[in-house]
Chain A
Amino acid sequence: MILLDDFFWRAVFAGIGVALVAGPLGCFIVWRRMSYLGDTMAHSALLGVAVGAFLDVNLILGVFAVAIAVALLLFLFQRQKQLANDAVLGTLSHASLAMGVLAISLMSWIQIDLMAYLFGDILAVDLYDLYWIYGGGFLIMLILFLLWRPLLALTFDNELALAEGVPVFKIELIFMLLIAAVIALSMKIIGILLVTSLLIIPVSAARRFSRSPEQMALGGSLIGVISVVIGLFTSMQFDTPSGPSIVIAAVLFFFAANIFALKKNQ
């Protein structure tokens, strides 16, 4: 396709693909108050980039693997009770970010544009990334679709779901893998430091207009897609980094939704 030869349209399609997945997945992150966990996994992505570059494998795979490792480490840490959860998250988050920056600066033989990875770069998306995003995105959506009901049940109450036969532990583990996958897929467009915003802000804006979990998920996807398109056009027009441009567009929706809701309640 000629359209996809153009770097800008590649970025737009990549962004749309990522935003579509971010809606339903982001809902669960918000409902389960896991945004800080998402952040921690995202911050480990730079280390994933370094690992991927070092092993000379696809960087998405590197990021995915390291994010999973961090998630597993968190799982282990949650079993101890001396340190509060947020202290563990904060430690892991910054440790992995620092390790990532150090590793990349030590690998002098590899040229990595740090800014591009931290804040997203529309020039960076190639055709392979598009295959990954749509292939991986489809898989994530499929798994999420199959797990939707049990995930919702354990989000409502863990204990109750467990007592009613939901395999809580297994589903929580798969959910972590899905978060890791989305982070790996959206890293190039949104940037490591801002990845979780695409998971959280659009669905939070959609909450104001939603009467059911599904409405909120679809609304989140829709707002995410529009934010991506607006953000990328501004990024193109004013030569700004793509991640922040998309995030600001999403934040505008968030404020608009809240102001609208306030007005309605008056």
Chain B
Amino acid sequence: MLYTAVAAGGFRRYATYRVATAAGVFTNTVFGFIVAYSYIALWNERPHLGGYDQAQALTFAWTGQALLAATAMMAGGGIAELQERIRNGDIAVDLHRPADLQSWWLAADLGRAGFQLIGRGVVPMAVGACFFDLALPGEAWTWGLFLLSAGLAVVVSFALRYLVAVASFWLLDGSGLAVISGLAAMFFSGMVLPLRIFPDGFGQVAQLLPWAALLQVPADVLLGARTGGAVVRGLVFQAGWAVVLLALGRLMQSAATRKVVVHGG
């Protein structure tokens, strides 16, 4: 299957950069400590803030660091490359392929995320579990549900970044939009602070936005704030946004290819 090969290639591409991965792991771990100690200070002052106990809050912090690279919230991840290809006209090469652009990049991004979940997620999480008292599940199937939720988080994150990248067909330089989108993802995913601790109205709206699918939902599945039917509702919420955003990306893509004016070249 072509797209499996693309995904495998995406995985191996990122796997070749070992020093970069090590540096990333180091950064994620250091930030994990910083966020964890901030949360300890906060939860000492306000126990059960947002309904989390301290162990759950710390689990949230380390889950955030573990998923940061895989969901490519800060930088564009593999999609920054697509944006650059549109800007400099290399996209012409991609359009000559008998393959669907969105599926191609989704496959490549899933491969990348797969590597970064293992390469940059496991170590920070393990370090966090060694130094702090985390609320990690004992049963394998909760871990399974978490991985499923993390996978959907990657798809939603891809769908959002794809929209930003395809917008470059109209914007010429989409880097401003990428920065705004990155900031929105950092805040509305719960990476800065869990969305549940925000005041009622705002917090509830924030939890309905697509970015909540990136961290808030998978973290809640892992740390046990979502159980039973709430897990299913969380997964449906993620899958729903994935479908809507991928469809939107597809619409934008066909509008873009219809009007294609490949820059340069």
A, B assembled together: no
* Residues of chain B whose beta carbon lies under 8 Å from any beta carbon of chain A: none
* Residues of chain A whose beta carbon lies under 8 Å from any beta carbon of chain B: none
